[in-house]
Amino acid sequence: MNDIDVLISEVGPRDGLQSIQSIMPLEAKQAWIKAEAAAGVREIEVGSFVPPKLLPQLADTAEVVAWARTIPGLAVAALVPNFKGAENAIKAGAHKITLPLSVSETHSQANLKKTHAQVLEEVRKIVELLETLPADERPAFEGGLSTAFGCTLEGAVPEAKVVELARQLIDLGCDEVGLSDTTGYANPTQLRRLIKLVWAEVGKDKLTGVHLHNTRGLGLANAVAALEEGITTLDSSLGGLGGCPFAPGASGNIVTEDLAFMLDAMGLRTGIDLDRLLMVREIVIAALPDEEMYGFTPDAGLPKGYGTGGWGVAA
Amino acid sequence: MNDIDVLISEVGPRDGLQSIQSIMPLEAKQAWIKAEAAAGVREIEVGSFVPPKLLPQLADTAEVVAWARTIPGLAVAALVPNFKGAENAIKAGAHKITLPLSVSETHSQANLKKTHAQVLEEVRKIVELLETLPADERPAFEGGLSTAFGCTLEGAVPEAKVVELARQLIDLGCDEVGLSDTTGYANPTQLRRLIKLVWAEVGKDKLTGVHLHNTRGLGLANAVAALEEGITTLDSSLGGLGGCPFAPGASGNIVTEDLAFMLDAMGLRTGIDLDRLLMVREIVIAALPDEEMYGFTPDAGLPKGYGTGGWGVAA
């Protein structure tokens, strides 16, 4: 991170593709990931190690992970729902694995068919497995606190519960926790408060990233609030693909294109070439002609003269 | 403002309707304004005193202003392009008039067919006229600094020019200046900086409102940045109607529905009833069936259990 200020972690090939009906062919996934890495995106969550029966869209995740590892400089991340998934992710060579723990236990049951205690037991076993690996083969392990800002099933979620589960994940041996606004309920004030509460409990180095959705249009406002607090990793999805099936008509993740433009315009370094990033969108549109793509910057284009003199300069 | 924290100033009937081809009938405008005022919106820019030949959509502005004045508690605002427009706005009884001064002189020529000097001369004549009125008949007079964050014709705009024009508007006798991101170029960092620069020049009480667009998706992120600096009035448009004809495919103003939800969720009082506000949208959709409406909250709905216990409470 020495040469960038903010790490944009692209989650479209996982969060995006799992939430649409179309199945993207392996070749198209590879073209997408390759082009986005070439545009300067440093971390991509390329899939999820769930049973192919549940998510046929991601059945080729092991292949995608193994292939993506060959891209120089790219951190290859994957979601794992349980110990079995973690085993497979490690075998495929993921650099980072994330296990989602829903703060809403109702959502945890719906999502993973597990109580909190059962998910935490999987975490314990995964850490045990990780500890048997040599350091250079060990992926980073994040516990992702889903529905941390509210749940479409339970409604409001107690902040004390988020903090308590963060503590347990760290105590069990996760390298980090993440805060996920799975449902697009978060607002900037709540986000700032929750980040500080979790930091107070587990330390600043144990929470560096947030996963935001744009379901109610607040995604980038939340992103700025998180950055101003000191968060340095932001998940986003090309074209805003992804989202919660419980919020019909609403968009998914924050849009990588708009986020990358905003950060660049704010003078923050992401390592991303905006023109090249905007071109990646064409690959996804061609592969998923029936899916709605979100984002405003791709339609509007970059401002006139952007990137030349005068921009971002207090003239 | 004693019982609210943020004034949302609805500009849809002006900024929205001027930028679409459809002409909304007077009765529909009245139904919209009446319903939105009843939902708790305290200020509405109901039209623009431009020649009907140029903007037939707003030809009934004098009638709308005179009628809207009968709504108790509503501040009725109108745009005026010149002295003649101001005369008509005063005659109709507007509580507030705003004259746009484009920081980009190229845009000023395109928009008002006037140089800066010519616009400032109109301002001088308007102030002269206002001074002849008894205090209780005198509308508030704002100079709106358009293209303050960049111009689709000129590109980047010098911040020193924004500050200089703010100074001139205040010296000529405007009650306030406003900062308008006409082109959707602003980012949170730039916005914070420019607010502070203008305040340093003319004082905090002379700049209390900003007019933001969502052309690149940054609208609400900018809104939060402005509020955190201390801005207390935010323009927005129901359904995000409005926008810049130079940015095809891009949306217009920030969306009143999303903004009102965000502020409410942040614990800021706007005086607006969210459920009633979301219903106003139906009136506009029925009257403008061919126009695209923006906004995420109307599709997604309010969060589960929103407004009951647990929300916004640090539990």
* DSSP-H helix ranges across B156-301: 159-172, 188-202, 219-229, 256-265, 274-287, 297-300
Helix-helix angle B274-287:B26-38, to 10 degrees? 170
Residue B214's pLDDT is what?
Answer: 95
Has residue B312 been placed in a domain?
Answer: no
- CB nearest to A296's CB, from B214, B224, B309: B214
| A258:B216 CB<8 A | yes
Please determine, for residue A311, whether its predicted confidence score (pLDDT) is greater than 80. Answer: no
Residues of A in contact with B223 (CB under 8 A): 221
Residue B242's pLDDT is what?
Answer: 83
pLDDT digits (tens, 9 = 90+) for A161-170: 999 999 999 9
Residue A151's pLDDT is what?
Answer: 92
The residue among A314 and B190 whose pLDDT is bigger is B190
| B299:A152 CB<8 A | no
Residue B102's pLDDT is what?
Answer: 96
Residue A261's pLDDT is what?
Answer: 98
Has residue A139 been placed in a domain?
Answer: yes
Residues of B in contact with A265 (CB under 8 A): 187, 189-190, 218
Average pLDDT, chain A: 94
- Shortest alpha-carbon distance between residue B156 and chain A (Å): 6
Please determine, for residue A227, whether its predicted confidence score (pLDDT) is greater than 50. Answer: yes
The token pair that represents A88 in the structure block = 């497979």
Give the pLDDT band of residue A309 (cuts 50, 70, 90): low
Residue A315's pLDDT is what?
Answer: 37
CATH label of the domain that carries residue B166: 3.20.20.70
Angstrom distances, CA of residue B29 to CA of B12, B36, B42, B47: 10, 11, 16, 10
Annotated catalytic residue A174: no
pTM for the structure as a whole: 0.96
- CB nearest to B215's CB, from A185, A215, A296: A296
The residue among B170 and A291 whose pLDDT is bigger is B170
The token pair that represents A99 in the structure block = 């296990």
Residue A51's pLDDT is what?
Answer: 93
Q: Which of A244, A263, A272, A280 is catalytic?
A: A244
Averaged over A294-313, what is the pLDDT?
82
Residue B307's pLDDT is what?
Answer: 84
Please determine, for residue A6, whether its predicted confidence score (pLDDT) is greater than 50. Answer: yes
Residue A244's pLDDT is what?
Answer: 56
Contact A139, A147 (CB under 8 A): no
Please determine, for residue A233, whether its predicted confidence score (pLDDT) is greater than 70. Answer: yes
- Shortest alpha-carbon distance between residue A32 and chain B (Å): 23
Has residue B46 been placed in a domain?
Answer: yes
Has residue B41 been placed in a domain?
Answer: yes
Residue A276's pLDDT is what?
Answer: 98
Residues of A in contact with B270 (CB under 8 A): none
Has residue A40 been placed in a domain?
Answer: yes
ipTM of the complex: 0.94
- CB nearest to B300's CB, from A189, A221, A250: A250
Has residue B69 been placed in a domain?
Answer: yes
Closest CA to A98 of A44, A143, A53: A143
Q: Is B258 helix (H, G, I), strand (E, B) or coil?
A: helix
Residue B309's pLDDT is what?
Answer: 60
Residue A313's pLDDT is what?
Answer: 45
Range of the domain at B244: 7-300
| A187:B262 CB<8 A | yes
Has residue A249 been placed in a domain?
Answer: yes
- Shortest alpha-carbon distance between residue B252 and chain A (Å): 10
Residues (pLDDT < 70) of chain B are: 1, 243-251, 309-315
Give the pLDDT band of residue A24 (cuts 50, 70, 90): very high
Please determine, for residue A292, whether its predicted confidence score (pLDDT) is greater than 60. Answer: yes
| A188:B247 CB<8 A | no
Calculate the CA A253 to chain-centre distance.
8
Residues of B in contact with A223 (CB under 8 A): 221
Averaged over A293-307, what is the pLDDT?
92
Angstrom distances, CA of residue A6 to CA of A88, A267, B237: 29, 11, 32
| A258:B310 CB<8 A | no
Please determine, for residue A314, whether its predicted confidence score (pLDDT) is greater than 70. Answer: no
Residues of A in contact with B147 (CB under 8 A): none
| B190:A266 CB<8 A | yes
Angstrom distances, CA of residue A143 to CA of A1, A147, A162, A272, B47: 21, 13, 12, 27, 53
Best of B218, B256, B274 to substitute, by most chain A Cβ atoms within 10 angstroms, is B218
Q: Give the span between the Cα atoms of A203 and A184, in whole angstroms.
A: 25
Residue B313's pLDDT is what?
Answer: 45
Contacts of A210 (CB under 8 A, 6+ apart): A178, A179, A180, A181, A191, A195, A222, A223, A226, A231, A233, A234, A235
Quote the DSSP letter at residue B142. Answer: E
Give percent of chain A above pLDDT 90: 88
Residue B314's pLDDT is what?
Answer: 41
| A217:B184 CB<8 A | no
Contacts of B2 (CB under 8 A, 6+ apart): none
Has residue B248 been placed in a domain?
Answer: yes
Q: How many domains does chain A have?
A: 1
Please determine, for residue A249, whether its predicted confidence score (pLDDT) is greater than 80. Answer: no
* DSSP-H helix ranges across chain B: 17-18, 26-38, 61-68, 83-92, 105-112, 116-131, 159-172, 188-202, 219-229, 256-265, 274-287, 297-300
Residue A310's pLDDT is what?
Answer: 57
Please determine, for residue A86, whether its predicted confidence score (pLDDT) is greater than 50. Answer: yes
